[in-house]
Amino acid sequence: IGTHTCLLLIEKGYKVNVIDSFVNSSPKALERIKKICERDKNFSNSNLNIFNGDLRNKDFIRNVFSKIEKNQQSIDGVIHFAGLKAVAESIKKPLLYWENNVLGTINLLNIMEEFDCNTLVFSSSASIYAQKGKELLKENSELKPTHPYGNSKFSIELILKDIFEGSKIERKFASLRYFNPIGAHSSGLLGENPIGTPNNIFPLIINTACGIQRELKIYGDDWPTNDGTPIRDYIHVMDLAEAHINVLENITNHKSIFVNLNIGTGKGTSVLKLINIFEKVNNIKVPYVFAKRRPGDVCHVVADNTFMNTKFKIIPKMSIEDMCRDGWKWRKLNPNGY
């Protein structure tokens, strides 16, 4: 998500400074951004600076901000993507998630305050919502995460709220509650390439389609849905990237604002239907078997995106078919990843 957003920011003329520990990503992905942008004669390598480090290291963050300011660049805002995101892993290793996600964010916020940087777009998650049947989730729906990953995201939202409400200066905070981003850049040069065993459904579908694993496990065939499999709101990663920039520009024009925002399509698709669409669009089989439900899984997670549509004029453009087509194109062109 961060890589695709970086690409759009640079294409729109922004100077982008990236902090990444590369624990679950590759520096080569950022080189691909340059490759795509080089088609634009206005592109300059100086528009993308990369700092390899970890948000758990407060001194490192301070040094990054200092270097940027010494180069006579003011930091107008931060888009905060960094964090671990595997539900099952968070249940097994909760301290790891509190340390990376929450402590890392506290360090970032402290250094932002030192450098008078008060604009932040934060990557939150739909997993913070309480799950109640098949109703669409609104920004004011009950919040009740069911696992450490969701707890870490919810805690960060509370921290941002406390800072905003207790502040005497102008602050511009937005918390984007992602639903299920999938797909890839249409060029096939950027895509999802998790290190190790993937945890999310889409890279697992792709790995099964290309034979890396023999079959895909669907966790539960007895959910209260039409085909017995869980329903999610899938959004194309490029629509999600566009949403970040839209929100960043919108809150920048406010004097002071704190907003929570669902980022989804408002349409639910079952796991089985997603597999069927992937097979049809790409003319390939994805063998699957059913397994027991996993701890932390829920049945129905779909956004009410009315606020996103009306307040921010964000309308997702890409279909499930586009997501499946672009995601498979990425893997076919990059069988070994980056």
C-alpha closest to that of 85 among 157, 179, 149 = 149
DSSP codes joined into one string, 209-249: HTTSSS-EEEE-S-SSSSSSS-EE-EEEHHHHHHHHHHHHH
User: In which residue are the tokens 């993507």 written?
Assistant: 81
* Structural contact between residues 51 and 18, judged by C-beta atoms closer than 8 angstroms: yes
User: In which residue are the tokens 């301290």 written?
Assistant: 95
* Structural contact between residues 136 and 126, judged by C-beta atoms closer than 8 angstroms: no
Which of the residues 14, 97, 129, 149 is marked catalytic? Answer: 149
What's the sign of the alpha-carbon dihedral 332, 89, 123, 45?
negative
Decide if 149 is catalytic.
Answer: yes
CA atoms within 13 Å, Cβ hemisphere of 123: 18
Enumerate the active-site residues: 149
